[in-house]
Amino acid sequence: MGAGTREIDAAGRTVTPGGVDAHCHLDQPMPPPTRNADDFDTGTRSAACGGTTTVIPFAAQQKGQSLRAAVEDYRARAAGKAHVDYAFHLIVSDPTPTVLNEELPALIREGFTSFKIYMTYDDMKLDDGQILDVLDVARRHGAMAMIHAENSDCIEWLTRRLEAAGRTAPRFHAHARPMLVEREATHRAIALAELVDVPILVVHVSGREAVEQIRWARAHGLNVFAETCPQYLFLTAEDLGIDDSYQGAKCVCSPPPRDKANQQVIWDGLNDGLFTVFSSDHAPFKYDAPEGKKPGGEEVAFRHIPNGIPGIETRMALLWSEGVLAGRMTPHRFVDLTATGPAKAYGLHPRKGTIAIDADADLVVWDEREFVLKNEQLHHEVDYTPYEGMTLRAWPGVTLSRGEVVWSRDDGFSPMPGRGELLHCGVPTLMPRPA
């Protein structure tokens, strides 16, 4: 071996491609005082320690802002900080003629080939006509459109009724976002995509009713892809608080976790090919902080609790432990969901998401030792993990990013801020599986 070469003994251990976390939020601009706890330094540190070697967070356009300005702002936020490679999705919240006809096509040509459309959240959502306009750009330029599918008007109507009845504790967040609001929006998103004749990817699918819509679309030959996340396998609505404890704010995310029966629906979809991508949707907010889950330092009504939970570091180990080692899925399916599928969906394959000649040497060597997960073991900047106390069967023993060891369970994290490269994505290279 040459100078500087390190030998890693992987005898008897499983080696998989480094994870591609295609849905995470790092240092994303938000209305004050709310702020992500993780930036590109701490977020990619946490990712590496959990076996993820590529992250794709969001350059989010604010209403009234040019899309180009949003990308340049986000590029500056990442510069010199990332420990592993990263790309950007775009969030289109203000599709002006300039955005649609000039900025978005130009950014797609430059390698920003995926963008997210919100059907909820007042500062982000688009109406159906705007969605059609953005989908048409995706069709003409070969980009991937991601959809957050929840019916905003239904959520607002239910929220007002709950508030009028004094039901404002965190647990009522799930009451304001029942499965039918996800089902209706998923159905509508599919119809809009069918009208334009463009592929879409429905993000963070939470349960049976949205799954049924996607299965219908796939059975009818539509290019509809889907993503799900750990919270829909390991959390339930009860984690939002079976009483009125504010602790449930730790698990407020959208769509909310459902029930045990829906967890099995998600497991089934992971195994049978309905889902192409398994992401964290890491949206890190400190619990006990005025910029986090207690805005201004106060316990607030569920409407005002920042939506999102941490998960960038735990995503891979949760699925390896409770999927592969628990006998729920094969190692090959795990790789499809955590690495190859997202790399293909967002134009990073074959450089990322596979172990092959000419691919980047992004690797995970698994250490199958049982342990109890505690937040103090993690490397994010959040003061909790929703998976506290879970017994896991494994954790990444070594993570390599482009051939360099960035994490070792024995030696710890090797900080290299700025070594992570901004990746420019190509067109998606996947087709849906039969479902």
Looking up tokens 């030696």 gives 411
Contact 245, 239 (CB under 8 A): no
243 — pLDDT class (breaks 50, 70, 90):
low
List pLDDT tens digits, range 63-106. Answer: 999 999 999 999 999 999 999 999 999 999 999 999 999 999 99
pLDDT exceeds cutoff 50 at 221: yes
Q: What is the CATH number for 155?
A: 3.20.20.140
Instruction: Answer yes or no: is 280 within a domain.
Output: yes
Model-level pTM? 0.97
Q: What mean pLDDT do residues 326-353 have?
A: 98
pLDDT exceeds cutoff 50 at 434: no
433 — pLDDT class (breaks 50, 70, 90):
very low
Residues contacting 49, CB < 8 A, separation 6+: 313, 378, 379, 396, 399, 407, 413
Instruction: Answer yes or no: is 140 within a domain.
Output: yes
Q: Name the strands in the sheet holding 19-21, side by side, starting at the edge strand that comes first in the sequence.
A: 19-21, 52-55, 85-86
Contact 18, 53 (CB under 8 A): yes
Instruction: Answer yes or no: is 422 within a domain.
Output: no
Tell me which DSSP letter residue 404 carries.
E
Instruction: Answer yes or no: is 222 within a domain.
Output: yes
Instruction: Answer yes or no: is 217 within a domain.
Output: yes
Total of domains in the chain: 1
Gap between the Cα atoms of 13 and 231, Å rounded: 28
Contact 23, 227 (CB under 8 A): yes
Gap between the Cα atoms of 213 and 230, Å rounded: 21
Instruction: Answer yes or no: is 169 within a domain.
Output: yes
- What beta strand segments (E) does 11-84 contain? 15-17, 19-21, 52-55, 58-60
Q: How remote is the C-alpha of 168 from its chain's centroid?
A: 27
Range of the structural domain that residue 167 is part of: 15-413
First to last CA, the chain: 48
Tell me phi and psi for residue 144, to 5 degrees. -105, 125
Instruction: Answer yes or no: is 424 within a domain.
Output: no
435 — pLDDT class (breaks 50, 70, 90):
very low
Q: What mean pLDDT do residues 268-288 have?
A: 98
The burial class, CB within 10 Å (0-12 / 13-18 / 19+), for 410 is exposed
- Bridge partners of 88? none
Q: How remote is the C-alpha of 6 from its chain's centroid?
A: 33
Instruction: Answer yes or no: is 145 within a domain.
Output: yes
